[in-house]
Structure 1
Amino acid sequence: MQYLYRANVALILENADGQVLIGERGDIAESWQFPQGGVRRGESLEEALYREVKEEIFLLPHHYRIYQSNGPYQYHFPKVRRKGEVVGQRQHYFHALLLSGRVPLKMRDTSGKSPDAILPSFGINLNPTGLP
């Protein structure tokens, strides 16, 4: 039997203090994850990562530097969470360093909010000085 897996990318974003950004899912209580999302048809893994990070935490590629990628790691969704013929996810992880500011250990729900409204509370400065 041939199984279908959704291609997915995730960002492990670390600040200079070694803290990593994770977020609690809004749809599954006590479930945590890195900023992540699906890869669209015709998109490279890196393009998907840049798009998802911008959509979820409002950071652009010049705000962080990717230094490692791993994967794919493949897993099955629980049967109650499967949609259509897709049985699981094929996850690619990218590890990056935030080039300025601090990353909190927990994200908040950012839906419907502008970057200017949430990024200062994360300790992220979108106009860092001294970048190469």
Structure 2
Amino acid sequence: MTPLPYHDRPYRPCIGLVLLNRAGLAFIARRLDTPDSWQFPQGGIDEGEAPETTLLREMKEEIGTDSAKIIARTAGWISYDLPFDLADRCWKGKYRGQKQIWFCARFTGSDAEIDLATEHPEFDAWRWIPLGEVPDLIVPFKRPLYDQVVAEFLPLAVPV
């Protein structure tokens, strides 16, 4: 199957998660497939699935726990385009990028619950860092999206 021309492709609907611990620090994980590339948990919304359900499912699939309480979400979708060379490789060339609803959630579990050795691992390391430092660690094509998400949720990144 030949992919659609890049600009005719739809965006893949997803969620993104800013997970904050009790100290107000953000969870970030290093991707297995892209050395030195860090990101927040995220994932595709299955057909008919509520974004809140996707959030908890993706947490469990990616970091081994779903211990979280949602405290905020973006008002609408935020999108990013994949670079041309990646767009043909990712998702078999079906999408030009992703449109995401972002959530901010408070981690209610313990660090011992976090387990990256899931059935289909995406990450090989994780840590808690100040939310404002996250965009500096993100691949360049996602930084504008991360800048927007961080700006929106930064007031929530406080100790509780």
- Larger % of helix: which? 2
Q: What is the count of residue pairs matched by the alignment? A: 109
Counterpart CA distance in 1 for 2:40 and 2:107 is 14
Percent identity reads 35
Please list every run of 5 or more consecutive structure 1 residues that lacks an aligned counterpart in the other structure.
114-121, 123-132
Q: How far does residue 110 in structure 1 lie from its aligned partner after superposition?
A: 2.2
Give the TM-score, by structure 1 length.
Answer: 0.71
CA contact (8 A) 2:79 2:97 kept: yes
Equivalent pair of 2:64/2:118 in contact (CA under 8 Å)? no
Q: CA offset at residue 12 of structure 1?
A: 0.8
**CA positional deviation for 1:3:** 3.7
Matched to 1:55, the amino acid is E
Per-residue deviation, 1:111: 4.2
* Change beyond 3 A, Cα 1:15–1:69: same
Which amino acid is the alignment partner of residue 48 of structure 1? T
* Residue identity in the other structure for 1:21: F
SS at match of 2:77: strand
SS of aligned partner of 1:22: strand
Aligned-pair distance for 1:92?
1.4
Q: 1:6 & 1:108 partners in 2: Cα distance?
A: 26
TM-score, normalisation: structure 2: 0.60
Alpha-carbon distance between aligned partners in 2 of 1:96 and 1:19, rounded to the nearest angstrom: 11
- Aligned equivalent of 1:20: 26
